[in-house]
Structure 1
Amino acid sequence: MKNPIRSRRDFLKTTALTGAAFSLPVFNIISKPVMEDEVIGHGDFRYRVHKAWGNLDPATTPVKNCHEMVLDSKGRLIMVTDEVKNNIIIYDRSGKLITTWGNEFPGGHGLTLFNEGGQDVLFICDPDTGRVVKTTADGKKLMELPHPHSINVYETTQRYKPTETAIAPNGDIYVADGYGSQYILQFSPRGEFMRKFGGPGDGDSNFSTAHGVCIDQRDKNNITLLCTSRAHNSFKRFTLDGKYLSTIFIPGAYVCRPVIDGENIYAGVCWSRLRYLNQTDRSGFVTILNGKDKVVSNPGGTKPVYKNGELQMIVQEKPIFQHCHDVCIDGDKNIYVCQWNADKTYPVKLERV
C-alpha cells in the first residue's frame, strides 16, 4: 500500500512549478510580494508560504526584530523579540496569541529551550546588556551566568555580546559570543566557568560572527557541538570540550544558528551574496541539510548543486524574506521563520507539502 503522505508529496512535486536551474539571478529589488499559494523549496522539502500566520496587533503586541523561536513540550511556539513591551511572545500553532511576558531584555536575541528534570527551561541571551539568563517557561528567573569580565575570563578591552546558548545532555551550557569577542564559553550546569575556545580569525578553529551554537545528538555515540561562523558562510563542528573537528561550508549563505530536527539541519540565512557576490541587504532565505550534512533544499533560494562533491554558490532566488534570523520546526515538519530588520514583521509559516 502506498504511503499517502509520500503520494501527496510526489503528486505536488510533479504538478507544481519547478524551481529555476541554478544561476546567479538578475535580482529585482522592487519585485511584487509572493502570494501565499506559492510553493518554494526543492526535492522533498517544499513549502507553502503563509506570510500572515503570526500577525498580531502592533498596538498591543509589538515587535522590533523577531529573533528566535522554540517549540515547548506543550506544543506552544515561544519567540523572543527585542521589544521590551513583550520580550517573549507565545503562540499556538494556528498563530493565535497565548500570552506574553518580559520587559528587561532590550537586545533580546538568543532563545534556547532545555528539558530539565521534566520541566521546560529557557536560556535568553541579550547582547546589548551582556546577559545570559535562565528562566522558567513563564518567566521566573532561575539563574544568570557571570559576565566574563567579572570572573577574569576576558581582558577589560574584550567585548562580550552573547548571542546564543546550547545545553548539553549533562546540563553544561555553551554560550556563543557572536557579537563580541568570537569565543564559545562553556559553563557547568551551576554556572561555573569551565573553558573558552575559538576566538576571531580565519583559521579552522576560529570564528567570524560566532552567531549560533547547538548540540548535535544525531549520533548518540558521538555527540558534538555545531557552531555558526556566519561571515565564513559555515558551520564548524567541535567536540564538547572545544576541539575543532570539521567545517560545513555553505557558499553564499550567511547562516544563523543551526536547528536540528530529526536527521536534518535547518537554518535561517540572514544575507545572500547578490550584488557583485557581496553580502546584500534584504536577501535572506532558509537552508536545509540532510543527515550527511549536504544541502538538499533552499526555500526562497536557488536549488543546491554539487559539482565534484563541492556545493556551488547559493543565492536568494525570490524576495520572500528579508533577513531570516531563525527557524523553528513543528511536529508536522512545518517551518516558522523569524526575521531581523524586516520592518517589524511577525513570523512567517512555511507549510510542508
Structure 2
Amino acid sequence: MNIKQNRRDFGKQAALAAAALTITPFHILKAQPKATGEIIGHGKHRYRVHQQWGSLDTSKFPVNNCHEMVQDSKGRLIMVGDEVKNNILIYDRSGKLLESWGHDFPGGHGLTLWNANGEEFLFICDPNLGKVFKTDLKGKVLLTIGHPSTVGAYKEGDAFKPTETTIGPDGSIYVADGYGSQWILRYSATGEFMGKFGGAGDGDEQFSTAHGVAIDYRNKANPTLLVTSRAHNAFKRFTLEGKYLSTIFLPGAYVCRPVFKEDTLYAGVCWSRLRYLNQTPNSGFVTILDKNDKVISNPGGTSPEYKNGKLQLMVQQQPIFMHCHDVCVDQDDNIYVCQWNAKKSYPIKLERV
C-alpha cells in the first residue's frame, strides 16, 4: 500500500468527514462518561463497560499513567506504569490486586511477556531512562539494553527512548525506539546487536512515532513483524529481517501497539481526529481488526465503514475513554484498557457481551 496514495485518499475522506462532523456537536467531548454498564462496540464485538474494575486505594497504590498490560500463564494481569511507588500492579480478573513491585522505572512504558518454554519473563521499556530491562516475574533484572551507541548502531548524541519490545521465534529482541530516533533495533536473546531498520520519515519503510511492535503469528508458516507508525495512523508490516511488506492504514486512529488474540488484532487508540480534523485531546477508543486486517469494531468510536474497499475516517463517538494506550485480552475475550493522561485512572474492563 502506497503512503502517498493514502494521503490523497485521506484528503478525500477528511472532506467527507468534515461535512459529517459539522452536524455532530463538539460538546460530546465534554460529556461525562457513564460509570458502568454502557454497551459499546459493533457487530459481534460488543462490550459492557466496567469503569471501576481496576480502582485501588490511591494512598497505597497510586498510578500516574497506566501504560500497558499483559496476562501471564496463570491468568494474572500485569500492568506497568510510570509511578515509582509501584511501577507494576498485578491483578486477578475480578480486579483484585495480587501483588505490586517496581520503584526504578520513572518512565515505565512498554511491557512484553515472553514465555520461553514454560519460563516467563518481562521486558520493560523506560524511555525516560533510555533503557530496556528483562526481568523475571518478581522484578529481578536479568538483562539491560542501553543506548545503541555502545554497539555502534547510533551516534552518542542520537535520541534513544524505547517504547516497546517484542520477541521473535528465535528469541531475538526487537526494540521500538518510538519516542527517539524511530528505528526498530534487533538484538539476540543475550543482548548482542543484530541490526536495525526504519528510521524517521514518510517513506513506506519509515516511521512517525514507532510506538509499538509485535510478531504476527496468524500465518504460522510465515510470521511477520507489525510495527506501529502512530502519527501515520498506520500499522506497517515487515519480514522478521526488516524488509517492508505492506501498510494497514487506519485513518483518524492514532494507534498504539498491536495486540493479537487468535485471529483478531486489537489496539488502543490514543487520539482520534475530531475538532477541525486535528489530533484531538481526550478522543481515544479501541479498534479491532479481523484476520484479513479489516476493522470490524471500534468500542467507544464510530462504526467502521468501507467505501469501494477503503476504510473511512474513524473518530471517537462516545466519551468513555481519554487516551487508550494499550489493551489486554483475556481467555474470555474481555478487554482491559490502560490509559495515558487520563486523570490517573486505573484500568477499565470491557466485558464481552
TM-score range (shorter-chain normalised) is: over 0.9
User: Counterpart amino acid of 1:209?
Assistant: T
Corresponding residue for 2:262?
A: 262
Corresponding residue for 1:151?
A: 151
User: Counterpart amino acid of 2:111?
Assistant: L
- TM-score (norm: length of structure 2): 0.93
User: Counterpart amino acid of 2:241?
Assistant: D
Deviation of the 1:36 alpha carbon: 1.4
User: Counterpart amino acid of 1:68?
Assistant: E
Corresponding residue for 1:322?
A: 322
- Map 1:75-90; keep pairs closer than 5 Å: 75-90=75-90
Secondary structure (helix, strand or coil) at the match of 2:149 reads coil
Preserved contact between residue 233 and residue 250 of structure 2 (Cα < 8 Å): yes
Deviation of the 1:23 alpha carbon: 4.7
- Map 1:101-180; keep pairs closer than 5 Å: 101-180=101-180
Corresponding residue for 1:13?
A: none
| Aligned structure 1 segments of 4 or more residues deviating by more than 4 angstroms | none
Preserved contact between residue 130 and residue 146 of structure 2 (Cα < 8 Å): no
Corresponding residue for 1:10?
A: none
Separation in structure 1 between the aligned mates of residue 80 and residue 33 of structure 2, nearest angstrom? 26
Whether 1:38 aligns to 2:33 is: no
Whether 1:199 aligns to 2:186 is: no
Deviation of the 1:156 alpha carbon: 2.3
Separation in structure 2 between the aligned mates of residue 328 and residue 315 of structure 1, nearest angstrom? 21
Corresponding residue for 1:243?
A: 243
Secondary structure (helix, strand or coil) at the match of 2:231 reads helix
Preserved contact between residue 179 and residue 209 of structure 1 (Cα < 8 Å): yes
Secondary structure (helix, strand or coil) at the match of 1:246 reads strand
Secondary structure (helix, strand or coil) at the match of 1:37 reads strand
Corresponding residue for 2:306?
A: 306
Separation in structure 2 between the aligned mates of residue 27 and residue 318 of structure 1, nearest angstrom? 12
Preserved contact between residue 146 and residue 191 of structure 1 (Cα < 8 Å): no
Corresponding residue for 2:232?
A: 232
Separation in structure 1 between the aligned mates of residue 57 and residue 316 of structure 2, nearest angstrom? 30
User: Counterpart amino acid of 1:139?
Assistant: G
Separation in structure 2 between the aligned mates of residue 227 and residue 276 of structure 1, nearest angstrom? 28
Encode CA deviations 1:295-349: one digit per residue, 9 max, x unaligned. 0000000000000000000000011100000000000000000000001000000
Secondary structure (helix, strand or coil) at the match of 2:150 reads coil
Separation in structure 2 between the aligned mates of residue 146 and residue 337 of structure 1, nearest angstrom? 29
Encode CA deviations 1:244-277: one digit per residue, 9 max, x unaligned. 0000000000000000001000000000100110
Encode CA deviations 1:2-26: one digit per residue, 9 max, x unaligned. xxxxxxxxxxxxxxxxxxxx95332
Encode CA deviations 1:144-165: one digit per residue, 9 max, x unaligned. 1242022221012310000000
Preserved contact between residue 268 and residue 284 of structure 1 (Cα < 8 Å): yes
Corresponding residue for 2:189?
A: 189
* Matched residue count: 332
Separation in structure 1 between the aligned mates of residue 328 and residue 111 of structure 2, nearest angstrom? 11
Whether 1:337 aligns to 2:337 is: yes
User: Counterpart amino acid of 1:88?
Assistant: I
- TM-score (norm: length of structure 1): 0.93
Separation in structure 2 between the aligned mates of residue 138 and residue 218 of structure 1, nearest angstrom? 31
Preserved contact between residue 133 and residue 143 of structure 1 (Cα < 8 Å): yes
Deviation of the 1:34 alpha carbon: 2.0
Separation in structure 2 between the aligned mates of residue 156 and residue 134 of structure 1, nearest angstrom? 23
Instruction: Point out where structure 1 has 5 or more consecutive residues left out of the alignment.
Output: 1-21
Encode CA deviations 1:216-267: one digit per residue, 9 max, x unaligned. 0010111000000000000000000000000000000000000000100000
Secondary structure (helix, strand or coil) at the match of 1:235 reads strand
Preserved contact between residue 23 and residue 302 of structure 1 (Cα < 8 Å): no
Separation in structure 1 between the aligned mates of residue 32 and residue 67 of structure 2, nearest angstrom? 25
Which structure is higher in helix share? Answer: 2
Name the Cα RMSD after superposition. Answer: 1.0
Separation in structure 2 between the aligned mates of residue 23 and residue 226 of structure 1, nearest angstrom? 32
Preserved contact between residue 35 and residue 52 of structure 2 (Cα < 8 Å): no
Preserved contact between residue 65 and residue 81 of structure 1 (Cα < 8 Å): yes
Separation in structure 2 between the aligned mates of residue 51 and residue 201 of structure 1, nearest angstrom? 38
Deviation of the 1:32 alpha carbon: 2.4
Separation in structure 2 between the aligned mates of residue 116 and residue 84 of structure 1, nearest angstrom? 28
Separation in structure 1 between the aligned mates of residue 51 and residue 26 of structure 2, nearest angstrom? 21
Deviation of the 1:214 alpha carbon: 0.1
Corresponding residue for 2:25?
A: 26
Preserved contact between residue 111 and residue 123 of structure 2 (Cα < 8 Å): yes
User: Counterpart amino acid of 1:202?
Assistant: D
Corresponding residue for 1:290?
A: 290
Encode CA deviations 1:192-224: one digit per residue, 9 max, x unaligned. 000000000000000000000000001011100
Secondary structure (helix, strand or coil) at the match of 1:38 reads strand
Separation in structure 1 between the aligned mates of residue 326 and residue 113 of structure 2, nearest angstrom? 14
Separation in structure 2 between the aligned mates of residue 159 and residue 106 of structure 1, nearest angstrom? 17
Preserved contact between residue 108 and residue 126 of structure 1 (Cα < 8 Å): yes
Deviation of the 1:110 alpha carbon: 0.2
Secondary structure (helix, strand or coil) at the match of 1:64 reads coil
Separation in structure 1 between the aligned mates of residue 169 and residue 286 of structure 2, nearest angstrom? 27
